[in-house]
Every structure is written in C-alpha cells, then in structure tokens.
DNA sequence: CCGAACCGGGTACACCGTACTCGATTGCGC
DNA sequence: GCGCAATCGAGTACGGTGTACCCGGTTCGG
C-alpha cells in the first residue's frame, strides 16, 4: 500500500514538474495557477528566507485559503521541488557562449550557478533528498556537457568534471550565502558577533594551541567570499586541464607526475 | 535592548562552546550534564535524521522533562552549535601525518571531513548562519594550515587553498549524503524513484532537447559518489600544485599560460 | 435541467520551540 | 542548627507549523 501511495505521489510530482497539465472540463474554473503559487513561494523565500515559507504564508500572499493550495500541490515538499526547478529556469542563458572552449563553458556554468545561489540562497538551505530532475536542471546539465563533447575522455570522466565543478560551487556558495544571511537570520550583527568572539579567540591564539592560525596576518580573513570562490574555481579548472594534458600528451606534463597521486581516471565498477 | 539581549546570548553560547563551566555552589546538584544532552542530540540526529531532533525528543531520550533542557542550553540553536563542534571533535586525529607534504595534509583533511559528513549527515542539513568557531573547528583549521606553512604563498592564498578544499568537500558531500538518505527521508526507494522517472526521462531524451545527455552511455551514472569525490579532489589538488609551480617556477609550467585565465593570486582589497 | 465533478476553504489534530511559573531541593552565612 | 537565597526539575500554555477530513457552492455534460 505504501508502494502504491508513493508511486502515485511520484507520478503526480513528476507531472507537475514536466508540465503535463490537462484541465478537467467539469467544475468551476480554478482561481489559482500552479505558476502563481510557485512564483509566490519563490518571492517569499527570496525576500524573507526559507524559514518564512509556510503554506499559510503562501496562501496569505495569494489572498486565498490555506487549504486551497492543496488543490494544486500535493504538499510542501512538492512545492519546494517546483520552486527549485523554477529557480533553475530563471537564469537566462542568452549570453551563454556557444561552441566555446570547455574551460569557458565550465566557468560560465559555475559563475551562473554561483549567481543563482546568491539570488536564491534557500536553494542550499532546503535539504532535498534527491536532485530535482526538472526540465531546467536537465537543460543546464546538457549545456555543461556540450562544452566537454569534443574532449577525448570517457563519459564517466565527463560527469566527473561536471560534478567537481558543481560540488565546488555549491560548497563555496553555501558558506558565502550563510554568512551573508547571518545578520538577518540571527538578529546579531557582524560587529556584535566579532566583538563577542574577539576576546575568546585572542585568548585561544595566545594559548599556543593554534600556532598556525595565530601566525596569520590580521587582515587575512578580510578577503571577500567571491574572490575566494573565483580563486579556487580557477585552480580547479587548472587541475582539470592538467588531467586533459596528461591524458592526451605523451605521459605527464611538466607538473611532475611523482608527487601527484591518484591520476587515474574513473573506471567503471 | 535587543543589543543587550543578543550580546548576552552570544556570551552564553561562547562560554558553553569553550567550556567555561563553573558550577554554582548553592542549590541541588544538577541531574544532567551539558555533555550528556549534546551527546543525546548527536545520537538522535545520527540515527533518525535532523528532522527527528526536537527538544522533546532529546528530553525523552534522557528521561527528563522537556523544559529541564533549558537549564543547560539557551535554546535549540545553541544545542545545534554544540552538536556541531562535538561532531568536529569526534574525528580523532591520531593518524594525522605530521610534517608531511602539503598535498598529503590537505588530502588527509579532505578525506577526514568527507568521512565526518558521512557519519553525521545533518552537519550539512542544518543551515547555520555563521561558522561554529569552537575549539575543534579551530584545531582542524590549524592543522590544515600547518601543511601550508612552508609554502611561499601569502596568507590570503593560504586560506584560499583551505577554503577551496573545504568548499569542494562540503558541496560533494552534500549531494552524496542527500542521495544516501533519500530513501529513508522520502519513503521512496531508489527503484521506485527511477521507475517513475524512467519513462519521463526517456521521452525527454528522445525529444532531442538534450542531445549531450542523450549521448551519454547508459551506465554513466553508475559511478559511486565516493569515486566522483576522489576524482575531483585530485584534480583540485593538481590545480593547487599548478599554482605553486607557476608561482615558484620561472613563469608558467608546461600547462600553457594562454588558455588559463585568472592565474593571479589573491591580493588584498 | 439535474446530477456528477470539481473548486474553495473552514475546522481540527498532532507536532514544534519556548515563556512563564511553580514547588522541591540544596548549602551558605549566621 | 536554622533560615533564606539560590538553584533545580518540570508542568502548563501560547503561537506557530503541515495537512487530513469534510462540506457547501459552482460549473458543465448528458
């Protein structure tokens, strides 16, 4: 029975995602649209944070009874899935470089994803079990793959490239986005936070337990998160480039094969 | 007034984190310990997921009234902070290579963090605004820095290295951990999930809208997440190595400076 | 034109975090 | 020894959440 129920739920959710929407002909015209509900959800999450998103809040935004939403969406989880795919789709790819260098493509994807996370921080805060396989997500994945089409690597390595970039972007963005929202979310300003931590950290530094942290210059942590992100991104792309050079070139570039272990590609199981 | 309150909260929270605990001499002996409460919280979150963690649940675990917890912890947020620092501290660093190659140190840190995220998936699901600056976290950061001490790079670049690895690990682990928990969290098995998605995806592939995804070999997605993680990690470390080689070597290695933009380090503001 | 199908949404329940409050317990100062 | 202040455990209650269930009004097919 649980199997049937979950099967139904999945089918319903997928139909919503991929837009199989046929209105029944009987009954009154719906006052709402899936589109409007999802848009309202995104608006609220963007403006007030994911913790402010509740079914009641969405209904209030649309001037509608809370339970009316359940005529369009099976539950909050499905609403979140739809919001995620909508956010994916909101990044316009009009300026996407076509037929460009693989590095240019991956960098474009990474920066676009980064900007998307900054615009919709809740994307990283809602912990969705499985990736949302909606049209927008698949399209983005396809574009990333298009940049790798001409490379002489296996398909496993192709998704290895994409996964590495995606993982790096998500991780960095998570830190950055959380920090940016910190003041609003906790009600504690950066000044208060560091003023409270200052004495504690200073004592910890003087204790000698953390010599390498203590040795850092004072302004070390003043680097803006975006700069850190771009720095690491280029390093990661460099590393992918090294992989390609090793693969195609005659056995190892000047990077010295000795110190770098794990140069193997991704073999099948 | 809000300033005073938040200041107090911060001070209290910090004292809990850094273990400034002086028992008052008056009054009855406490029946609980901070330690026991935090441990119970970690146990519940590990076993049943972060969504199962509630103050009532923790209190029940300790056979204690719900409100008794508030004698030891200001609120749920602070309990989470303590749980996080405890999880950081649970990774024993006894096998940490001392005075090793920078690459060995960073790889060790990355693998340790990865394993920690697998053991405590909720670390990536609780969205904490600001990083938890507890003793364990600072110690881990210090160890990572120790591996970079001898390198001829700026402090900004040092934290650039660490942030890149940390970001990558967190992002990859998030995806992997969510996938691993998916069945339990949604009540939908992988078989059901893919069975439901299969027809939809097949139709999408046949539509021609996603040519590069459609061109992938069938078993492309069968790569275990851990393999993907290790692959990208070595690529990232390769990239950091390239950066060092460029910095110390006589202007650019064999990697060809032309195609790789953004080779600059991190300058101050 | 009637009945089936569909829409909006009110009510209710179980859960959550926690503010407030109480009596019970303890040990210091006298 | 004793009183009192301090500390402890915890019950009650409030406002929030997601959503199951249900009912009256609306609309169109036969």
The 3-class secondary structure across B53-114, one letter per residue, is CCHHHHHHHCCCCHHHHHHCCCCHHHHHHHHHHHHHHHCCCCCCCCCCCHHHHHHHHHHHHH
Q: What Å value separates CA A125 and C1' D14?
A: 28
pLDDT band at residue B201 under the 50/70/90 scheme = confident
Residue A177 phi, psi dihedral angles, 5° rounding: -70, -40
Check CB contact under 8 Å for B167 and A172. yes
Cα distances from B127 to residues A71, A224, B46, in angstroms, run: 31, 21, 16
Across the interface, which of B11, B129, B142 has its CB nearest the CB of A213? Answer: B142
Nearest CA in chain A to B156: A220
Q: Kindly tell me if the per-residue pLDDT of B256 is higher than 70.
A: no
CB contacts under 8 A, B 73-112 vs A, are 77, 101, 103
Integer distance in angstroms from CA A29 to C1' D25?
A: 13
B269 reaches A (C-beta below 8 A): yes
Per-residue pLDDT reduced to its tens digit, B47-79: 999 999 999 999 999 999 999 999 999 999 889
Q: B6: pLDDT confidence band, cut at 50, 70 and 90?
A: very low
Q: What value does the mean pLDDT take over residues B222-249?
A: 94
Residue B5 clears pLDDT 50, i.e. is over it: no
Strand D contacts in B 173-232 (CB under 7 A):
none
What domains lie within chain B, and their CATH numbers? 2-187+223-248 (1.10.357.10)
Distance B119 CA to C12 C1' (A): 40
B266 touches chain A (CB under 8 A): yes
Name which residue leads in pLDDT, A107 or B261: A107
Residues of B in contact with A227 (CB under 8 A): 266
Q: Name the residue among A159, A196, A254 with its Cβ closest to that of B223.
A: A159
Burial (Cβ within 10 Å: 0-12, 13-18, ≥19) of residue B189: middle
Q: Is the CB of B31 under 7 A from strand D?
A: yes
Q: Count the neighbouring beta carbons within 10 Å of the beta carbon of residue A203.
A: 10
Does A174 score more than 80 pLDDT?
Answer: yes
Residue B122 Cα, gap to closest chain A Cα (Å): 10
- Average pLDDT value for chain B: 85
DSSP annotation of B213 reads H
Q: Which of the two residues, B124 and A192, has the higher pLDDT score?
A: B124
Tell me how many residue pairs between chain A and chain B have CB atoms under 8 A apart: 326
Write the pLDDT tens digit of every residue in A125-171. 987 777 777 788 888 999 999 999 999 999 999 999 999 999 999 99
pLDDT, one tens digit per residue, over B15-45 is 777 776 666 667 788 889 999 999 999 999 9
Alpha carbon distance B90, B77 (integer Å) = 20
Of B169, B82, B172, B75, nearest in space to B132 by CA? B82
Contact of B158 with B145, CB cutoff 8 Å: yes
Q: Is A26 within 7 A of strand C by CB distance?
A: yes
Q: List Cα–Cα distances, B165 to A137, A167, A235, A244, B33, in angstroms.
A: 25, 11, 10, 21, 36
């Amino acid at each position: 029975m649980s199997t049937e129920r979950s099967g139904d739920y999945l089918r319903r959710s997928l139909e919503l995602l991929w837009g199989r929407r046929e209105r029944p002909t009987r009954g009154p015209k719906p006052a709402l649209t899936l589109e409007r509900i999802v848009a309202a959800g995104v608006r609220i999450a963007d403006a007030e944070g994911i913790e402010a998103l509740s079914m009641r809040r969405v209904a209030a935004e649309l001037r509608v009874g809370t339970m009316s939403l359940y005529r369009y969406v099976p539950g909050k989880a499905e609403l979140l899935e739809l919001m995620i795919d909508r956010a994916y789709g909101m990044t316009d790819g009009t300026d996407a470089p076509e037929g460009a260098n693989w590095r240019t493509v991956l960098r474009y994807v990474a920066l676009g994803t980064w900007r998307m996370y900054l615009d919709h921080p809740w994307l990283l805060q809602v912990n969705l079990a499985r990736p949302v396989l909606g049209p927008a997500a698949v399209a983005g994945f396809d574009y990333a793959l298009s940049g790798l089409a001409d490379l002489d690597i296996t398909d496993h390595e192709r998704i290895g490239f994409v996964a590495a970039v995606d993982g790096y972007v998500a991780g960095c963005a998570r830190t950055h986005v959380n920090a940016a929202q910190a003041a609003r979310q906790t009600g504690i300003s950066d000044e208060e936070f560091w003023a409270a931590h200052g004495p504690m950290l200073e004592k910890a530094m003087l204790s000698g337990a953390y010599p390498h942290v203590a040795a850092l210059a004072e302004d070390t942590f003043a680097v803006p998160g975006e700069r850190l992100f771009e720095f690491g991104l280029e390093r990661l792309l460099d590393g992918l480039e090294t992989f390609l050079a090793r693969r195609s070139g005659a056995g190892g570039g000047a990077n010295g094969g000795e110190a770098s272990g794990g140069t193997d590609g991704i073999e099948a199981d």
